[in-house]
Structure 1
Amino acid sequence: MNGAIKLDRANIEDIAALTPAQEGLLYHYRSGKDAGRYCQQLSLRLAGEPSMDALRFAWRRVARANEMLRTVFRWEKLEHPVQITLREHEIPIAERDYSAYPPAERERLLGEAREEERRAAPDIAAEPLRVLACRLDERSLEMIVTWHHILFDGWSNGILLREWLAAYDACVRGERDREPPAKPKPRFKEFVAWHQRADKEERRAYWTDYMADPGDRALLPFEAETDAAASGAGDGEPGYYSVSLAPGEVAALTAFARSRGATAAAVLYAVWALLLRGCSPGSRDVVFGTTVSGRTPELEGVEEMIGLFINTVPLRLSIEDGDSAESLVRRTAEALRKREPYESAPLTDIARWSGAESADDLFETLVVLDNYPLDEASLRSESLAVAGYRMKEATHYRLTLGIRTFGEWGLDFEYARDRFAEEDVARMAEYYRHLLRQVLGDPGRTVGSLELATDAEKERILNVFNRPLGERSALLVHRAFEEQVRRGPDRPAVVRAGAVCTYGELNARADRLARRLRRAGVARDRLVALLLDRDADLFAAMLAVLKAGGGYIPIDRLFAAARISYILEDSGADVLIVPEGEENGLPFGGTVVPFGGPNSEPDREAWPEEEDYDDEEEDEDGASRLAYVIYTSGSTGRPKGVLTEHRHLMAYVSAFRAEFRLGPDDVVLQQASCSFDHFVEEAYPALLSGGTVVVADREDVLDPDRLVRLIEANGVTIVTVQPLLLSELNKRGGVPGVRAYISGGDVFKYEHYSRLVRRASVYNSYGPTEATVCATYWRCGEEPLKNVPIGTPIAGYNVYILDAAGRLMPVGVPGEICISGRGVARGYLNREELTRDRFVPDPFRPGERMYRTGDLGVWRADGSVRFAGRVDEQVKIRGYRVDPREVELALLEHPAVAEAVVLAADDAGGAKALSAYLVTGEGTTARELREHLAGKVPYYMIPTSYYRIGAIPRTGNDKADKKALLRSPDRLPSGAEESGERSGTERAVAAVWREVLRLERVGAHDSFFDVGGNSLLLMQLQARLEREFAAGLSVTELFSLPTVRKQAEWIDRRRPSEGGADGAGLDANREGGDVAAAAYQPLPADYFGWGPEGESLLRSRLDPQLAAGLASVASEHGVERFDVLLAMWGYLFTEVTGLRTAVLHVAGRGGRTALPLRIELDRLGGFPDLFAAVRDRRSAEDAEGGYPLGTTGRFVPERGERETLPLAFREGEAVPDEGLVRRHGLLLGIEEAGPRDVGLSLWFDGSRLLREKMERLVRSYAHLLRQLSGTGVASS
């Protein structure tokens, strides 16, 4: 210890090394945070006529007789720590007098004194033991002895107290100078030497085998931290809880052990193992710490020594469901007998031999059998009566169970208060006793049939935590909507981008489409796929399918083509509804119904008249018809469709309306993808209550300020968002008028809603698609919670937490969340076996069905549930359920990937994100893997980070070692051109990137999204850049500036002045009137390949909404839509090549000439500048660099192997014959037939360019246009 008092060399009696146990305790003492741990305290109530003189004399005498009471510890500037025995050492004894206080006050002061002594950790370098004597009255005092455990163990207490009382009596008798006869005690140094002589090889062999091949270990019960830390309980001091065992329990226990030839310890250990296993679903391997006396019989007289002999060693038991309780006790007794010769091994050595990183990794709980009583002999005195005593010990373990096996048997728990609340530990004690009673009452009972929950707790869960389900709904969804139409046909139903669709208009559109669907053969349970934008047409189409009697499948238009094709094929959909103008060329064998634009306008003569589309009566059978199918992630790599009926949806809507008191005045924000059930939550409760749905575009969701403006402008009252976006709203203090915020499906923390909850209701929600959106809600309060619950069951739903055998788990014990009630879906489409496995009869409510979620949950004492992870590997990413195995299988399809593991971990923003760990070659980049996945899985399933590994590390049971993978340092290169930072601004921007993304380095050309960024982190980046530079950089602009260099250059241009575009970003040529070599446009190498085709053609039409949106963008910036389309086509080339320049040639002047446009992003400030520059360059009367179309050979140098001369034109201004296609390689024809009608034709040289790459180029172009216009983009 620093500053320790220098010892008098003449006063040193002996110096010895430390035992391994002492070294371990010294480690915890020196670690700071554990300095107060292992502080022991014995408090004795002494009655008679206690004498302070005799008390002091007795301590001097026992100190002379026992060297450890004269020992101090030193380690500073020493290679190895030592214990130094002093010849003379006065034990410090302090006095307090409480005799003047009333009895109750005396006891209070005495309690405070004990606590003060414990908190003032002993100084083991100078005074490892001290005494406080508190006078209570003339005839009694309390002697409080406090010491560090490094001095001596619990067994020594009886020896110490017996010798102290004998010395006290001798003093009272006047025999101070007469030393009592006693056998000489061995010196503690001999015990140290015995330890050092032990055969380590024998011990190593035993413990290496004993701890080999760890299975899924049973972990500490009540595994998630409680709210104690958040409320200030985590101050480092442990909590204590004690309960006595009934005399009948003790008698039955001892009789049971004796009749089986076992010790009581074997029974008590076995029951603790059963408790740990029961609290860890799926575990079979149980390991916990036990203490052994350590007093070797090889050392004569050791039983009379005072010192630290006790040792802590693991006890490991493997438990199967079929084991009988009796056989487990026998195996435990046998394990203890076999372990005994090796129990002296230091715990640190056992950890090293086991491959554990430290001794603390071996186990989390410690069981201490207190079988060293302070018996009558220890407490006998001629002059004093020991009226009572209390012992308090502290370890560094999260939970220590002390079992008293003398006097009044009982359980003494010491627990970390930042992990457990006292009520948790009280329940644990009750579960232990309940298991003990079951084992003793029926020893032949199998382990698998033992229960943690008592009958009283089962009753509480079934009938207090859960409520009666109520009647089933017989109402059809569209009938409920039509009732709202009758009540208010002119009320706004759907609002998007300022366009309002009323209830009457929406119903009319649905009626018109329903008639068409009926004519197309749609009937009960026939499936109709919807591939539409999130606007009024989508809502009308959903209702139309229901009116026609079918069930719809909503498909996000941003899904990869492979995903869309899979859903269409797997579902066997009969009909596909697409926007008007997109019905041709689709890979779909059924009926394609175009819907949108003029065809979606209401037939105003027809819509007030009702037409019955339903042949069935509205009874429960009618309500059991299919409403929709939503596809969720699957572990086989194949998404599975969940079948939801009308009655399920109506049950959920009814519960939502009851919870949120929804009415016609409510306006609900809609921002989720239509392919996920969050969309259902945002749509149907409002539409079936007469409320309004306001659709937010992707740009609204990405820019919190823009989202706030949208909410305010539309009077939104209910907002459903993911936690990290909720956090952005929380930072702004919320939005006036919003009365409820609903979140969930991700990491949900108090800091996400701490300000919002002061002015509105905030809810955490939980529920899988298979239970129709949500099964629980939790209304958050203002008090900070460390773990926010997912809530209590909503009306019409029951929730159980079950073990693998289907038994109810009690409060505090994790198990699988199972949902029963009115919202449980029909099952999986075309997955009968999986449906039978996951959708089972409710064992507690006859006639009901129950869905096994695969999620783990824990009941709280108030009847709410805390989420505790997954039984399988599924995770929630940005609110969407993802099975990493599906992503792994897609990655394995890439030729460079040999093995793949995908894990979820917290990203830089605190949200769950996917990371891929790959056995792959040196040349593989993150960009090519992202591009590969983009064609196979939805955007939210694409990992944000990629790491190269030599091989997949494995655990002992051959599973991927997740901890080892998460430490992988070898991140794959992004695939961008490597370049150092070349300016001060770049260095500053890069520093912000590193902070936001928590990366050690970023390259100047790395794309934000290729190095771990996502849309939510982009918001944080924007906020940090604005704080740093105040350059007016918006989230939307950051999308077009995805690299450090692009952002730095933009900032440098904007900070000196706000000058607009002057066309400087476009050059006609660099060498007189000819087109320079730079007029060629390079493309990535994998775009090229030999093929037999010559001229090839791809055609598509933009959806009307997108076409109209682009016209609005053009109008806003004072350019033609053609200019916007040209600019984005040129910009696309910079995206696919990663270059700062792109070249585009435009046909003009009646198709007679072509004009090269060279785009230099370094000279442009953003998209507005680019649009203006294209307009100015194209409209110049005497534009330099023009050349006669079809005569490029005279003006252009020889073409490179991977170059093209891309030509764009308005259809009719050029004739794309074979010669023109071969000369240019790539031709884009743009047909503007009307404000909402734009067609695209792409001719390409099929002998050089690969068709699949050209198809991807067209898709990327359309995606870029959607991002620009903000239409048809699903929310993330």
Structure 2
Amino acid sequence: MNLELSGKGYEFSENQKNLWLIGNRNLNIFFNEVVLQFSDKVKSDALMNSLRKLLEENEVLRARVLNHENYKYPLQKIEGVKIEIYESADPEYNRTYNPENDSPIRFKIVKKDNFIDELHVKIYSLWADSFSIVNFTNQLSSLLENKKEEEKEKIEYTKFCAWQNELLKEEDEEAKLYWNSKKYNFNQKVYPFINKKNDDFAVEKIKLVGISGRKYEDLKGLAEKNNSSIENFLFYKWSEYLKLFKKQELTIGYIPFYRNYEELKNTLGYVNKTVPITCFKSEDGVHNEGVKNLINEVKEVKEWYDFFTLNREIQSNNSKAKIFKYCFEYIELDKAEKLVVKDFSSIQDPFKLKFSCVNYGDRIELELYFNVGKISEKDSEVIISQTKGYFQNLEKELVITDVENEIINKVNKTSKEFIADKNVMNLIEERTQEYPNEVALRVEENNISYKELEEKVNRLANYLINKKEVVPGNGVAILMKPSEWSIISALAVLKVGAYYVPIDESYPKDRVNYILNDVQCELLISCDEVVDKFEFENINILIPNKIQDYDNNSAYSINVIKEDSIAYCIYTSGSTGKPKGCLVSHKNLYNYINWANEFYFPNDNFGNFGFVTSMSFDLTITSVFTPLTRGKRITIFNEESIVNTIKKAFTDPNIDSLKLTPAHLILLDEFNLESTPIKKIICGGEQLKPNHIDVVKKISNTIQLYNEYGPTETTVGCVAKKIDLESKEKILIGKPIANTQVTILNEEGERCPIGVSGEILISGNGVAQGYLNNDELTSEKFIKSNFSEEEKSYKSGDIGRWLSNGEIEYLGRVDNQVKVNGYRIELQEIENLLNKGENINEAVVLVKQNNNLEKEIIAFIKTEEELSENELRGFLENSLPEYMIPNLFIKVENFPLTINGKIDTIKLLSTTSENIITSSMYVAPSDEIEEKLVEIWENILKREKIGVEDDFFSIGGDSIKAVRIVSEIQQQFNAKVDLIVLFQEPTIKGLAEMVKNELWHEVEENKNEIVDKTVI
């Protein structure tokens, strides 16, 4: 072993090289510290002599860094004894560490009655691990007690460095195969809390729980019950806590507290290293199996421990991360007669969060280390309260703490008194009296004032009552394009106390007829061009602009409208294939409109809307009723195309506000607008993504953009937030609106702690009456919640989670949570990640069943660039486990939209295979064996044109498909091929060579067998 290089110094160990690299040479923050209290009186002279002896016997405590221009990493040199010892008040103890000049170890003494009461020992992590601190303490105790013990075998650290470097140069093939086969995810983001963007590594340690006495015995009993040590049981509980936030397997950095070899047991130095442990998601409540899996994983990793190097493994896993984000350590301290360990701290590597268990012999202290540069103060407050509660009772699951209750309850205190005994029609009437001559509706160049609008509405209302015998509580269908008459008709229906049923004119005939029959509608308000498309039977059709016998009386007193009477019934898609009609009351509508007017237009003069979307889409409620209840105007377009309508809306100086879906925003990219008069955009209907915000910013960075969330069943919107266009944080849906409460429930119907995802349950004044003629579905979706005083709450079917700032993050649909090969996968997570990718305009991720009835994940990518499959997979592999990588990537020019402006997933899934994004280069098979292998791969992977140099695991292969591939090869070629071969040679080219070799060996064996028989 080459101990000394060029007569200058000794080579760093692999551990030191890693720390030097990832610590960016700022090694002051990486140290181990112990606080020792003396049980007997100790004088300064006795202590100094013992410390001097210790430094003499352990050369690593006298080491310095030696920078050498010929080497990538510095060397280490050993110098003479220098004891840095400081009084308790001396700030020099905490001065910045300079590894070239300063001693690796520092001491601080606390005196009591002229004797030393406490000794603080700090050893920087470049030279020592936590196990070294225990060795140091034991050696110091022996010296102070003047024990004459047998000479213990001890290898100096410089010799260990040389041995480790030699070992890793040998490149053990079996070890390399083991570590490369592991699919670790070093870049996982487990905690959903808002991250600070500070790159500095600064640590704060929090003491969570002390376990002693009876509780210590209970912990031992729990561990034994699960056939585990205390260490492994606490490790398992920590992993289960983390997996509450990300319900999938997890990579945790494990800092072992032991020496792998007896010869190193007494060595001081940076010997132990942090290694990755895969913590699999156990079935709910099956702790025994989860602990067993963890124990097996730890045992397996320890077998290959010597050959793990963090930087190499990160490179082989295509990860840009330099650290383990989440770590676990268990430290076991020895009892000494003269020394009592009061406190122990260890910061060996960078991390985001570390759970530390220190066993002091008579108690275990559970502690949490934070990287305060990455976790905000509010987040850390929540995490501390959660972990304290979780580890105080190890037999119970995580429950909501007082800290979390305070945050959630404060956000849900949304009580707001709006003027009683009123409805939106009263508000419009008041604005008419206030602004009779102001423009209410603008159609092309024609203006309709508030007074004129009232007259038209009143005449139609009178006609509905007198000629069509419409009475309060009737449902009246409105089937027409967006126009002044669609608005007039809706207002007239409301005025007579009936409710309107908007139907989009582009609906197919069967759907229209189903709605009319379901409502038992006796009157349909429409227009000539729409009626001509349909053949209606047994229904009274009214075309309001053609009525000849209008009553000249333009006066009308609004009927007394009860707040629980229905205002409108909007039909949305139903899981049975038939649409369902959602009944929204006047109370619901009045609450939303009052809130919207105050939230979106608090103290400004904006609010002149464009009438862009269909009346059958509840998004349009905002565009119609907020301007008319504020004395503002609505501009109506006579355009056939939604694209042209939106383009006109963004260039019309009479419009300053729009309500759109995110998919509508993407259209702005096609318009090449340099500016716009639009000042406010309210987005709803779909999830708002970063690329949508980018499109808005291109036109104007002064537009006020709002994100509004809400199912139709909760009256347009129930949670909202103003978006900061410059923020790089995740896009949230915000907080509950006025008189609305949100609860997030897990699958057992219990409230989810902050950060844990569950189904969004909505209560309050916006919750609709239910579904028309569908009591079964109404009772299923509109429930009495144990967590709300309201009579009913709506189960949204949407997944979300609270964050520590009291806002809600939307995570997708319950039915978007799919299981593929036994893994539960949130498609939204894959989608969100792709939408952050370079050169990706927008991505949508769906699941489709292939011909073998297997579920495949498909990513649809909108991009102007030529992206390769390898690029996309490489990008995703930085953050996602293998089983979440899409099987296919398909390029699209534009996403097809439904009439409501949402992405049409059915059309999207029918996209042809010609648009599949493949590897950057296709290499055709060159012989019969390669051709046969291509055929096997294409059949099993359901892919076309697979090249012989394509990587199996990069084109949709996984361990299950690998088994099928190998089985097929064995049958087709009658050759013995092991499964591991496909992991070693994941290309057809490499696999073909293995098959050829196997066939050649079989031929040779057959020849030998014939020769043997001939001799016999």
Same fold (TM over 0.5): yes
CA distance in 2 between counterparts of 1:939 and 1:754 reads: 22
Q: Tell me which of 547, 562, 566 is aligned to 2:511.
A: 566
Cα distance, 1:54 vs. partner? 7.2
Q: Are 1:649 and 2:589 counterparts? A: yes
Cα distance, 1:673 vs. partner? 0.8
SS at match of 1:9: coil
CA distance in 2 between counterparts of 1:482 and 1:432 reads: 56
Mapping 1:927-966, distance limit 5 Å: 940-941=903-904, 946-947=915-916
- 1:1216-1246 Cα deviation digits (max 9, x unpaired): xxxxxxxxxxxxxxxxxxxxxxxxxxxxxxx
CA distance in 1 between counterparts of 2:323 and 2:705 reads: 41
- Rate the CA distance shift 1:307–1:638 in 2: closer, same or farther, 3 A: same
- Rate the CA distance shift 1:743–1:845 in 2: closer, same or farther, 3 A: same
Other-structure match for 1:676: 617
Other-structure match for 1:534: 482
- 1:1036-1093 Cα deviation digits (max 9, x unpaired): xxxxxxxxxxxxxxxxxxxxxxxxxxxxxxxxxxxxxxxxxxxxxxxxxxxxxxxxxx
Other-structure match for 1:1160: none
Other-structure match for 1:242: 206
Q: Tell me which of 243, 255, 265 is aligned to 2:218.
A: 255
CA distance in 1 between counterparts of 2:647 and 2:45 reads: 76
Q: Any unmatched runs of 5+ in structure 1?
A: 1-5, 171-178, 381-385, 910-914, 955-962, 968-1276
CA contact (8 A) 1:771 1:823 kept: yes
CA distance in 2 between counterparts of 1:695 and 1:585 reads: 23
CA distance in 1 between counterparts of 2:421 and 2:766 reads: 13
CA distance in 2 between counterparts of 1:783 and 1:98 reads: 50
CA distance in 1 between counterparts of 2:369 and 2:608 reads: 50
CA contact (8 A) 1:58 1:165 kept: no
CA distance in 2 between counterparts of 1:35 and 1:314 reads: 27
Counterpart residue identity of residue 327, structure 2: L
Other-structure match for 2:129: 153
Other-structure match for 2:493: 545
- Rate the CA distance shift 1:217–1:431 in 2: closer, same or farther, 3 A: farther
CA distance in 2 between counterparts of 1:643 and 1:793 reads: 21
> How many percent of aligned residue pairs carry the same amino acid?
17
CA distance in 1 between counterparts of 2:304 and 2:5 reads: 35
Other-structure match for 1:826: 769
Other-structure match for 1:9: 6
Q: Are 1:421 and 2:376 counterparts? A: yes
CA distance in 2 between counterparts of 1:134 and 1:663 reads: 61
- Rate the CA distance shift 1:843–1:403 in 2: closer, same or farther, 3 A: same
Mapping 1:298-697, distance limit 5 Å: 299-300=262-263, 302-304=265-267, 306-310=269-273, 312-314=275-277, 316=279, 318-323=281-286, 328=287, 332=291, 336=295, 339-340=298-299, 343-346=302-305, 365-372=326-333, 376=336, 391-406=345-360, 409-417=364-372, 419-439=374-394, 443=395, 450-454=397-401, 457-458=404-405, 461-462=408-409, 465-468=412-415, 475=422, 477-478=424-425, 480-482=427-429, 484-485=431-432, 489-514=436-461, 527-547=475-495, 550-556=498-504, 559=506, 562=508, 566-569=511-514, 572=517, 574=521, 575-589=523-537, 591=539, 593=541, 595=543, 599=546, 605-608=552-555, 610=556, 618-620=561-563, 623-631=564-572, 641-659=581-599, 667-674=607-614, 675-695=616-636
Q: Are 1:845 and 2:788 counterparts? A: yes
Q: Are 1:746 and 2:679 counterparts? A: no
- 1:394-450 Cα deviation digits (max 9, x unpaired): 5344322122222774343334446421332332232122123333xxx4xxx6xx3
SS at match of 2:652: helix
Q: Tell me which of 225, 228, 233 is aligned to 2:194.
A: 225
- Rate the CA distance shift 1:870–1:12 in 2: closer, same or farther, 3 A: same
Cα distance, 1:237 vs. partner? 1.2
Cα distance, 1:810 vs. partner? 3.3
- Rate the CA distance shift 1:842–1:341 in 2: closer, same or farther, 3 A: closer
CA distance in 2 between counterparts of 1:936 and 1:677 reads: 12
- 1:778-797 Cα deviation digits (max 9, x unpaired): 35689957345433322221
CA contact (8 A) 1:741 1:761 kept: yes
Cα distance, 1:252 vs. partner? 0.8
- 1:999-1026 Cα deviation digits (max 9, x unpaired): xxxxxxxxxxxxxxxxxxxxxxxxxxxx
- 1:180-239 Cα deviation digits (max 9, x unpaired): 97333245366788999999979989998xx89x9x99975532533x22xxxx123143
- Rate the CA distance shift 1:428–1:667 in 2: closer, same or farther, 3 A: closer
SS at match of 1:295: coil
- Rate the CA distance shift 1:162–1:690 in 2: closer, same or farther, 3 A: same
CA contact (8 A) 1:856 1:868 kept: yes
The structure number with the bigger radius of gyration is: 1
CA distance in 1 between counterparts of 2:796 and 2:69 reads: 55
- Rate the CA distance shift 1:547–1:587 in 2: closer, same or farther, 3 A: same
CA distance in 2 between counterparts of 1:334 and 1:476 reads: 61
Cα distance, 1:155 vs. partner? 0.4
CA contact (8 A) 2:32 2:130 kept: no
Mapping 1:1124-1143, distance limit 5 Å: none
CA distance in 2 between counterparts of 1:52 and 1:272 reads: 40
CA contact (8 A) 2:863 2:892 kept: no
Cα distance, 1:136 vs. partner? 11
Q: Structure 1 length as normaliser, TM-score? A: 0.54
CA contact (8 A) 2:324 2:350 kept: no
Other-structure match for 1:801: 744
SS at match of 1:343: helix
SS at match of 1:402: strand
Q: Any unmatched runs of 5+ in structure 2?
A: 817-826, 836-841, 866-871, 873-884, 919-937, 943-952, 958-1016
Other-structure match for 2:57: 62
Higher mean C-alpha deviation, range 253-262 or range 742-751 = 742-751
CA distance in 1 between counterparts of 2:683 and 2:804 reads: 23
Mapping 1:263-278, distance limit 5 Å: 263-278=229-244
Other-structure match for 2:949: none
SS at match of 1:500: strand
SS at match of 1:825: coil
Counterpart residue identity of residue 62, structure 1: E
Other-structure match for 1:293: 257
CA distance in 1 between counterparts of 2:186 and 2:171 reads: 30
- 1:98-152 Cα deviation digits (max 9, x unpaired): 99xxx5xx54x754x2xx33xx7x5xxx899745689999999998855445x54
Other-structure match for 1:1021: none
CA distance in 2 between counterparts of 1:576 and 1:274 reads: 58
CA distance in 2 between counterparts of 1:644 and 1:391 reads: 60
CA distance in 2 between counterparts of 1:44 and 1:218 reads: 34
CA distance in 2 between counterparts of 1:415 and 1:884 reads: 35
SS at match of 1:245: strand
SS at match of 1:494: strand
- 1:790-815 Cα deviation digits (max 9, x unpaired): 33322221112222222223334443
> What is the RMSD computed on CA atoms of the aligned residues?
6.2
Cα distance, 1:851 vs. partner? 1.8
CA distance in 2 between counterparts of 1:33 and 1:554 reads: 63
Other-structure match for 1:1007: none
Q: Are 1:184 and 2:153 counterparts? A: yes
CA distance in 1 between counterparts of 2:888 and 2:289 reads: 51
Other-structure match for 2:801: 858
- Rate the CA distance shift 1:197–1:918 in 2: closer, same or farther, 3 A: closer
CA distance in 1 between counterparts of 2:891 and 2:208 reads: 64
